[in-house]
A and B are shown apart, each in its own frame.
Chain A
Amino acid sequence: GNSVTQMEGPVTLSEEAFLTINCTYTATGYPSLFWYVQYPGEGLQLLLKATKADDKGSNKGFEATYRKETTSFHLEKGSVQVSDSAVYFCALSSGSARQLTFGSGTQLTVLP
């Protein structure tokens, strides 16, 4: 079956530090890949996505590249801010309904 494995958290960084959150996946067919962000007390918001190999998704300074050869979709940001503190979920969609399969989530805390 499909699965997503995310880097264990929590992750604590100082403001302006470089962020990497690792994500690897197992899937049949050609999944789309996503990063979602969840702020405290809120639902999940789409951060970025990539629909095919070598695509790069980007938004708000975050980037991730769909690497089929390593089955990875690592999230990066060059300079994090306090406002980036949240839980980040890697996910893939597949199947006839394109249902989402999520990783376990990574809690990010950015200190001023």
Chain B
Amino acid sequence: DAGVIQSPRHEVTEMGQEVTLRCKPISGHDYLFWYRQTMMRGLELLIYFNNNVPIDDSGMPEDRFSAKMPNASFSTLKIQPSEPRDSAVYFCASRTGGDGYTFGSGTRLTVV
């Protein structure tokens, strides 16, 4: 298995632009999580899905952030409009029953 695949690995964008981060979970995993990592706040859970349905989005910082999971093999995290304070590493993780999480390599977002 190729693991959890995130794209792009790096994204540099200008303030105000729309940014879309992508994630392909491991086949058969029914939970998908989006995390954000910053120096100031560490690793924060943004949102998670179960069987493609958003369950808890209480960690999404603002309405500028949205996430979708149209099918079991694909999820997106969108920021519109982006701001410099959104600069962070965004991780996607998936798992099936139990505690067996697999993390992607992350997308490093820089908003200038």
Q: Interface of A with B (CB < 8 Å)?
A: 32, 34, 41-46, 49, 51, 89, 93, 97-105
Known: A43-B104, A99-B48, A100-B33. 7 other contacts (CB 8 A): A34-B99, A41-B105, A97-B48, A97-B50, A99-B33, A99-B56, A103-B42
Contacting residues, chain A, for B101 (C-beta < 8 A): 46, 100
Q: How many chain B residues touch A (Cβ–Cβ < 8 Å)?
A: 20
Contacting residues, chain A, for B104 (C-beta < 8 A): 43
Most central of B33, B95, B99 by chain A CB within 10 Å: B99
24 sampled A-B residue pairs with Cβ under 8 A: A34-B99, A42-B106, A43-B4, A43-B91, A43-B105, A43-B106, A44-B91, A44-B93, A45-B103, A51-B99, A93-B99, A97-B31, A97-B48, A97-B56, A98-B95, A99-B45, A99-B48, A99-B56, A100-B33, A100-B93, A100-B101, A101-B45, A102-B42, A102-B43
Q: Mark B81-99, 1 if CB is under 8 A from A, else 0.
A: 0000000000101010011
Q: Mark B51-78, 1 if CB is under 8 A from A, else 0.
A: 0000110000000000000000000000
Expressed in whole angstroms, the minimum distance between the Cβ of B47 and any Cβ of chain A is 10
Q: Is the interface of B mostly helix, strand, loop or mixed?
A: strand
What residue of chain A has the Cβ atom nearest to residue B103's Cβ?
A43
Contacting residues, chain A, for B42 (C-beta < 8 A): 102-105
What residue of chain A has the Cβ atom nearest to residue B6's Cβ?
A43
Contacting residues, chain B, for A97 (C-beta < 8 A): 31, 48, 50, 55-56
Expressed in whole angstroms, the minimum distance between the Cβ of A55 and any Cβ of chain B is 12
**B99 contact from A45, A98, A103, A105, Cβ within 8 A:** A98
What residue of chain A has the Cβ atom nearest to residue B55's Cβ?
A97
Expressed in whole angstroms, the minimum distance between the Cβ of B15 and any Cβ of chain A is 25
What residue of chain B has the Cβ atom nearest to residue A92's Cβ?
B99
The reply to whether A89 and B105 contact each other, CB–CB distance below 8 Å, is: no
Contacting residues, chain A, for B56 (C-beta < 8 A): 97, 99
Contacting residues, chain A, for B91 (C-beta < 8 A): 43-44
